[in-house]
Amino acid sequence: MKSINPSTEAIIREYEPYTIEQCNRIVDQVNEAWHNWKTTAMEHRSQLMMRVAEVLEKRRDELALLMTNEMGKPLRESRSEIEKCAWVCRYYAENAAKILADETIASDATRSFVSFEPLGVVLAVMPWNFPFWQVFRFAAPALMAGNAGVLKHASNVSGCAVAIQSVFEQAGAPENLFRTLLVGSDKVDAILQHRHIRAATLTGSEHAGSKAAAICGRLLKKTVLELGGSDAFIVLADADIEKCVETAVTARMINNGQSCIAAKRFIVAKEVYEDFVVRAIRKMESLKTGDPATDDIDYGPMARADLMEALQEQIDKSVSMGAKLRMGGHTLKRKGFYFAPALVTDVTAGMPLFDEETFGPVMAVIKAESEEHAIRLANNSQYGLGGSLWSRDTRKAQQLARQIESGSVFINGMTKSDPRLPFGGIKNSGYGRELSHYGIKEFVNIKTIWVK
């Protein structure tokens, strides 16, 4: 298992994968730790999560640089990611006791109530694109609910995986409460089948998600899946185009374009279509690329060479089908996995840039003939993760937002995850919710207790 710097293509470090026997021993140890942890007072759990937040903030610069070196995101985005991880830890430290308090429900009993009790050891299969945030948005609520965690991270961010375990250890977490398994994807099936793994959460591809869900379904284990996305960014004729374009480029280019909830299909009303395109090109051309470990760049390299190749193929095929490449769309002649941001117009259904998830810096612009047409275009997708809708008429926008088939819709703003709000998708984007009071209840036993 190799960590490779995508900016220089140099090997950072190699890791020896664990054997399945090592993994089984670790899961057994985590299960033992869980039996003690599940009975701890909520106040004790909150104190630990507060210390985790403090460790993250103290180590922010070190962890941010590690993240940038392993997967290539701009350093300022890496720092923000660590800060967001501290935020989610504090959110659940401050709110979990209230969220998970017994809920009294009137019935024919003298007293009847619902308690929320932990399930056990939860396996988290996590991706490389937000190597800290994806983990902590699972770990903070799961541990606060009394569960224990086992992390199988993406192989190219093994350094981040090791560092995350060290954060919990440094914060004084009980031994083996949260462990990292350094394994490739080939061992996930066997780990899921371990008798002490009670549930699993996976963020990744549709293929990985459906495979994990099939195994867990056969074994009757709970799963939460956050898979791919092809979020619609709808621009109505009455939108504030200047603010809209500013956000559109940010939404497409965040994390070097490699985000499940990045805006990907830009559905623009015909009245403002060309104005949007011209402004977007101007904005994208002003972006500065370079070494992501420096503070003065806007975007860095893609995480791997194969991702560039796949993106190039999607662009080329769409252009051969009638789309127009208006800027960029090619690899840069320099060391590292750098790709020139692309803007493609005249994209229609049936083209890869419309039908498939594009995981990289390409903006696909689609013309809408009417507001109803825009909604139909947005829903003409196998995905349903997030979406963004722009209009000065917010009352109308809220009505249209209800018609969009996705887990979230942001009106006059960029789709993002927030500890206070539920996050997740429908259709091929997965099921279940993370964050908010909904997310912490995904991995609990919602138990009815009836007293006469």
**How far apart are the C-alpha atoms of 171 and 220, rounded to whole Å?**
34
321 exposure class (CB count in 10 Å sphere: 0-12, 13-18, 19+): middle
Q: Which of 303, 311, 225, 242 is nearest to 278 (CA)?
A: 242
> Which residue among 23, 85, 89, 260 is the active-site one?
260
**How far apart are the C-alpha atoms of 154 and 68, rounded to whole Å?**
15
Distances from the Cα of 190 to the Cα of 23, 379, 406, angstroms: 9, 37, 32
- Cβ-Cβ contacts under 8 Å for 434 (sequence gap 6 or more): 137, 138, 141, 201, 224, 226, 417, 422, 423, 424, 442
How close are the terminal C-alpha atoms of the chain, in Å?
58
226 is annotated as an active-site residue: yes
> Which residue among 226, 357, 434, 442 is the active-site one?
226
Amino acid at 219: L
**How far apart are the C-alpha atoms of 221 and 154, rounded to whole Å?**
22
431 exposure class (CB count in 10 Å sphere: 0-12, 13-18, 19+): middle
Please check whether residue 42 is in contact with residue 100, taking contact to mean a CB–CB distance below 8 angstroms: yes
Catalytic residues: 226, 260
